[in-house]
């Protein structure tokens, strides 16, 4: 299959066009069209027709189709289900916050990590997304919604650090001055805790926010709900987080889904405090979203508030995530999952 043109950075595109005998200024023209979300080379109206044809013959230009678009009546959150060029589907969510519009993108079709509470992993990993396909999620969400996007979170379907090099390439593309120019400080990356990749990311010293899905402070509980913990345990993971902080100076954000009777006790809060000691952190409590296939249930409100207070009393910043789009299955993987199930039946 032809190479995906949108996954190329400007230097690579320059080299490719040079090889085709094109003048040097063409690359920036093409790059700029690509990053404005054109659906075909014919939309590149300031290119000679012959060149448009050569590009169409030599490259694949990805542009996902909207399969479903659901808008929350409660808060304006929009959830997209996109069909990719090979028929696979992924989800993207657009959320409106006071600090700007944030898009939550997927990095893989499905997920190999097997977390017990997560809908995205039920069918396993189908394939990884390309850098261009991740960029498409941002471009076409902006285009379809008419809302300018200022922030990106890699918290959709998939494990970004399982697709590490491609995610780094996506970051380069979306950050580039000739493209969307979204600053690293406006980007968050969420991981279930692939330690060697966290250390590699630390070395790159990118100024993005690292979010770590911790969900339990002890190995016994964490290994039960997150198989990744059997490979890299809590101490090793938090060790990598410390290195990450030392190298980048960026405070780490810890995601903690509150699961009834599993990880929501005062003892769990106290152990969490002990483990986070000396590490500048922000804990984000997420009321567990119900996933039909899972027996795990959300903690009740009082339990969540009690947990939060225990952390805050010891000076650890702790927020409870606002549930956006709860009327439209806006938690990861649920829309794709429903679509698959309807397809199966």
291 belongs to the binding site for ligand SAH (CB under 6 A): yes
Cβ nearer to ligand SAH, comparing 186 with 215 = 215
User: Catalytic site residue 200?
Assistant: no
Query: Please, what is the angle between helix 266-276 and helix 301-313, to 10°?
Result: 30
Position 134 contacts ligand SAH (CB under 6 A):
no
Footprint on residues 302-331 left by ligand SAH (CB under 6 A): 331
What does the alpha-carbon distance between residue 202 and residue 242 come to, in Å, rounded to a whole number? Answer: 10
Query: Shortest approach of ligand SAH to residue 260 CB, angstroms?
Result: 12
Tokens of 174: 């979306």
Whether 115 contacts 227, CB under 8 Å: yes
Q: What is the DSSP string of 193-251?
A: --HHHHHHHHHHT--PEEEEE---SSHHHHHHH-GGGGTS-HHHHHHHHHHHHHHH-PP
- Which of the stretches 9-17, 41-49, 114-122, 216-224 binds ligand SAH when contact is defined by CB under 6 A? 114-122
Q: Does 118 bind ligand SAH (CB under 6 A)?
A: yes
Compare residues 16 and 257 and give the one whose CB is closer to ligand SAH.
257
Q: What is the nearest approach in angstroms of ligand SAH to the Cβ of residue 64? A: 19
89 lies in the binding site for ligand SAH (CB under 6 A): no
Tokens of 85: 């060029």
Hey, what are 209's tokens? 């926010």
Binding string to ligand SAH for residues 149 to 168, with x set by CB under 6 A, is what?
------x---x---------
Helix (H, G, I), strand (E, B) or coil at 73: coil
Residue (131 or 259) nearer to ligand SAH, CB? 259
Q: Which stretch binds ligand SAH (CB under 6 A): 19-27, 110-118, 167-175, 177-185?
A: 110-118
Q: Give the DSSP letter of residue 259.
A: B
Q: Is 98 exposed, middle or buried (0-12, 13-18, 19+ CB in 10 A)?
A: exposed
Binding flags for ligand SAH, 169-198, as an x/- string (CB under 6 A): ---------------------xxx------
Site string for ligand SAH, 208-227 (x = CB under 6 A): -----x--------------
Catalytic choice (89, 111, 318, 332): 332
257 lies in the binding site for ligand SAH (CB under 6 A): yes
In angstroms, give the least distance from the CB of 172 to ligand SAH.
20
The contacts found for 272-279 with CB under 8 angstroms, 24 or more apart, are 272/214, 272/217, 272/311, 273/310, 273/311, 273/314, 273/316, 274/217, 275/217, 275/234, 275/235, 275/238, 276/238, 276/316, 278/242, 279/238, 279/241, 279/242, 279/245, 279/252
Contact 217, 256 (CB under 8 A): no
What span, in angstroms and rounded, lies between the C-alpha atoms of 246 and 239?
A: 11
Residue among 288, 318, 330, 335 that touches ligand SAH (CB under 6 A): 288
Question: Is residue 95 involved in binding ligand SAH (CB under 6 A)?
Answer: no
Strands 78-83 and 65-71: antiparallel
111 is catalytic: no
Q: How far is the CB of 3 from ligand SAH (least distance, A)?
A: 28
Task: Provide, rounded to whole angstroms, the least separation between the CB of residue 177 and ligand SAH.
Answer: 28
Query: Applying CB under 6 A, does 91 fall inside the site for ligand SAH?
Result: no
Cβ 123 to ligand SAH, closest distance in Å? 14
Query: CA-CA distances (angstroms) from residue 327 to 49, 118, 154, 331?
Result: 47, 18, 22, 10
Catalytic pick from 91, 133, 159, 255?
Answer: 91
| Active centre residues (catalytic) | 91, 332
Interacting residue ranges for ligand SAH, rule: CB under 6 A: 115, 117-118, 155, 159, 190-192, 213, 255, 257, 286, 288-289, 291, 331-332
């Amino acid at each position: 299959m032809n190479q995906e043109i949108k996954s190329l950075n400007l230097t690579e595109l320059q080299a490719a066009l040079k090889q085709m005998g094109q003048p040097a200024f063409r690359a920036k023209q093409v790059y700029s069209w690509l990053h404005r979300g054109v659906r075909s080379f014919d939309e590149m109206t300031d290119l000679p027709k012959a060149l448009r044809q050569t590009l169409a013959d030599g490259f694949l230009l990805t542009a996902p189709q909207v399969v479903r678009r659901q808008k929350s009546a409660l808060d304006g959150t929009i959830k997209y289900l996109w069909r990719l060029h090979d028929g696979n589907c992924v989800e993207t969510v657009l959320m409106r916050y006071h600090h700007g519009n944030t898009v939550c993108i997927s990095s893989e079709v499905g997920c190999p990590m097997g977390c017990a509470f997560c809908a995205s992993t039920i069918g396993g990993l189908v394939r990884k997304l390309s850098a261009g396909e991740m960029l498409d999620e941002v471009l076409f969400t902006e285009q379809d919604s008419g809302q300018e996007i200022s922030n990106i979170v890699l918290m959709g379907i998939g494990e970004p650090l399982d697709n590490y090099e491609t995610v780094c390439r996506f970051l380069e593309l979306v950050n580039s001055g000739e493209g969307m120019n979204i600053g690293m400080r406006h980007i968050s990356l969420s991981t279930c805790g692939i330690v060697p990749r966290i250390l590699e990311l630390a070395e790159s010293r990118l100024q993005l926010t690292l979010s770590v899905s911790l969900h339990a402070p002890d190995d016994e509980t964490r290994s039960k709900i997150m198989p990744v913990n059997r490979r890299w345990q809590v101490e090793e993971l938090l060790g990598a987080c410390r290195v990450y902080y030392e190298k980048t100076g960026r405070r780490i954000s810890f995601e903690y889904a509150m699961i009834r009777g599993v990880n929501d006790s005062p003892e769990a809060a106290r152990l969490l405090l002990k483990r986070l000691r000396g590490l500048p952190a922000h804990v984000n409590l997420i009321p567990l979203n119900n996933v039909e296939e899972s027996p795990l249930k959300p903690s009740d409100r009082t339990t969540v508030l009690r947990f939060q207070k225990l952390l805050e009393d010891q000076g650890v910043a702790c927020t409870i995530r606002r549930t956006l789009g709860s009327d439209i299955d806006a938690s990861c993987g649920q829309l794709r999952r429903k679509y698959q199930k309807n397809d199966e039946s």
